[in-house]
Chains A and B, each alone.
Chain A
């Protein structure tokens, strides 16, 4: 599930706020301007119509008046279209004949009853203003004015206001992004420091901030890291002490046992058997302590260096008596940045595991690419039941087969160490069925990423 980040959300909220505000302002402005321009236009049209009406009335006051001539003599131009309705008949200039349809029946009744009227209608999609003035009994004067110019003015206004609203919205988004960056900057610092600490650098701290509100975070974070690193240091010292106290007596046991072992031929059978028991257990104890101390180093990062992983794999496989033909190498490179000591140990532990529980490894597959590697160790044993595939990587977990045998071999830590080495490289390890029977242990180690994305 992917969630939208805080910065995006803050930016969006600022943008939406700016959008709402600017749209409201632009709308109100547009409406005010439109109303006021329209009223202005109406007043002007009414004034002009009244004036023109008076002129027409004058022209009609003579005998046998020619209405068409009177209308032609009006200086109305193209913007005003004068019309006269006399006793149910329309008179207009020749070019204006089509404009009579703009005068609706309701308006006609009103004007013929003696009331001046104003109406906005559409003529073939163009807005026009119709003003009606009663002249004489049975004669009324109408003037049709185009509002096209006004409509164009309003369209320009709407475009300008729209652009302003858009610009305001973008400015809002920019402000939101800027504000959120300022507010989140210390979080970025903390994330970087936490990343450095996670990869083993306990000296990483967050720089103090001049803003007292943000400084609280830096101070609290640094205090936490101080505490963690003090504890980690205490743990490290304890582990070092334990290590020394365990390794020293083991050295004595190991050396003394080798003296005894060398003279086994001179001992009677019972004593010889007892010496062999001691030798075997001392050896197991040595491995156990070494593995346990290795496991105790969970917090240590992998010491990566460019490593010829192919040569390393071949020599480790050879050291465990694997046939050179059983090592299958593919890929595009031999060199990978990894911790050679850890890699060698994890491979040897997988081979030892295959020897103990799977009758010995039959194939080691290695695919190396610049972005990481995949290592596979196959055996032809009974395989690992699906419900045990995670458990076997736990400390002191041993397969059922081992328990059935008495399980005296191994320390029970080999696969736990494998898991730890894999984790130190931020890789994965899993178990599958080998095609043809047996288990396949697969280790995937990605190449290191240099930066923690903030």
Chain B
């Protein structure tokens, strides 16, 4: 059974989410502070983590950054804040997805399923090794090389790169990427795509400000160019 960690300072929210997500089939561990969450993740790592942004002591943004340093466990922000500023900052810190309270358990569960599908790798549809300029994509091994160096991507970034690579130069709209990478079947938040593309560029482009491979097609979306 998938293991889930909830980092949330509000006791009632924490307990209600634990009960509801246990119903959805997760083994849930819940903690009220970022510090305890990080300790928990070090000793017995969960498969996916829910993080609130406003936490006593270390805040949610720092918690996400620390979790990223520990590994590439998928992180979903569950926050009462919906300012663009907060959403983008949380995604920049390394969160994979962002939902605003109150979120229906069905919706949250769908988001978690999409993330775990991503986290379990996308090997089934693209076994071949492919090159885009200096970027070498090895879907089977889950590896990306930039020149001779291996690049460490989170699973969401890796999935994003694979989806773009599958199109071999055709444009994918933000909505299509939300659908394929995040599992949104209705209109989702395009900021998710933009921030993740930005993160991807910082890892696979020599000059992220002037990308040569992960290209923006104004008004349409993104494409991967050789």
Pair from one complex: yes
The interface of chain A, by Cβ under 8 A from chain B, is 240, 243-244, 247-256, 258-259, 262, 286, 289-290, 293, 303, 305-308, 311-312, 315-316, 319, 335, 340-341, 344
| In-complex Cβ contact of B16 among A243, A255, A307, A344 (8 A) | A255
Tell me the bound Cα distance from A258 to B106 in angstroms.
9
Residue of chain A at shortest CB distance from B109: A258
| In-complex Cβ contact of A248 among B83, B101, B106, B218 (8 A) | B101
| In-complex Cβ contact of B23 among A247, A258, A319 (8 A) | A258
B217 to nearest A CB, angstroms? 10
CB neighbours (8 Å) of B103 from chain A are 251, 254
Taking a contact as CB atoms under 8 Å apart, the answer to whether A262 and B13 are in contact is no
Tell me the bound Cα distance from A340 to B173 in angstroms.
13
| In-complex Cβ contact of A253 among B78, B102, B190, B220 (8 A) | B102
Taking a contact as CB atoms under 8 Å apart, the answer to whether A256 and B16 are in contact is yes
Tell me the bound Cα distance from A256 to B100 in angstroms.
17
The interface of chain B, by Cβ under 8 A from chain A, is 10, 12-13, 16-17, 19-20, 23, 54, 78, 80-84, 100-106, 173, 175, 185-187, 189-190, 218-220
CB neighbours (8 Å) of A254 from chain B are 16, 102-105
With A254-B104, A255-B20, A258-B105 as given contacts, are A319 and B81 in contact (CB-CB < 8 Å)?
no
CB neighbours (8 Å) of A286 from chain B are 102, 104
CB neighbours (8 Å) of B78 from chain A are 251
CB neighbours (8 Å) of B84 from chain A are 303
CB neighbours (8 Å) of A251 from chain B are 13, 16-17, 78, 80, 101-103
Tell me the bound Cα distance from A344 to B187 in angstroms.
8
Taking a contact as CB atoms under 8 Å apart, the answer to whether B101 and A247 are in contact is yes
CB neighbours (8 Å) of B189 from chain A are 341
Tell me the bound Cα distance from A290 to B105 in angstroms.
16
Tell me the bound Cα distance from A315 to B185 in angstroms.
9
Taking a contact as CB atoms under 8 Å apart, the answer to whether A307 and B219 are in contact is yes
Taking a contact as CB atoms under 8 Å apart, the answer to whether A258 and B190 are in contact is no
Residue of chain A at shortest CB distance from B18: A255
Taking a contact as CB atoms under 8 Å apart, the answer to whether A306 and B219 are in contact is yes
Taking a contact as CB atoms under 8 Å apart, the answer to whether B19 and A255 are in contact is yes
Secondary structure dominating the interface of A: helix
Tell me the bound Cα distance from A253 to B82 in angstroms.
20
CB neighbours (8 Å) of A340 from chain B are 187, 190
Tell me the bound Cα distance from A240 to B23 in angstroms.
32
CB neighbours (8 Å) of B13 from chain A are 248, 251-252, 255
With A254-B102, A258-B105, A262-B23 as given contacts, are A244 and B173 in contact (CB-CB < 8 Å)?
no
A247 to nearest B CB, angstroms? 4
Tell me the bound Cα distance from A307 to B78 in angstroms.
27
Taking a contact as CB atoms under 8 Å apart, the answer to whether B80 and A244 are in contact is yes
| In-complex Cβ contact of A250 among B20, B101, B105 (8 A) | B101
Query: Which of A247, A255, A290, A341: most chain B Cβ within 10 A?
Result: A255
Taking a contact as CB atoms under 8 Å apart, the answer to whether B16 and A306 are in contact is no
| In-complex Cβ contact of A308 among B20, B102, B220 (8 A) | B220
CB neighbours (8 Å) of B19 from chain A are 255-256, 259
17 contacts between A and B (CB under 8 A): A247-B80, A247-B102, A248-B10, A248-B101, A251-B16, A252-B10, A254-B103, A254-B105, A255-B16, A255-B19, A255-B20, A258-B23, A258-B104, A293-B82, A303-B84, A315-B187, A319-B186
Tell me the bound Cα distance from A125 to B175 in angstroms.
91
Residue of chain B at shortest CB distance from A318: B186
CB neighbours (8 Å) of A344 from chain B are 187
Tell me the bound Cα distance from A382 to B199 in angstroms.
52
CB neighbours (8 Å) of B83 from chain A are 240
Shortest Cβ-Cβ A-B pairs, 5 listed:
A306-B219, A255-B16, A250-B102, A247-B80, A258-B105
CB neighbours (8 Å) of A289 from chain B are 102
Residue of chain B at shortest CB distance from A294: B82
CB neighbours (8 Å) of A248 from chain B are 10, 13, 80, 101
Tell me the bound Cα distance from A249 to B78 in angstroms.
14
CB neighbours (8 Å) of A262 from chain B are 23
Tell me the bound Cα distance from A240 to B100 in angstroms.
13
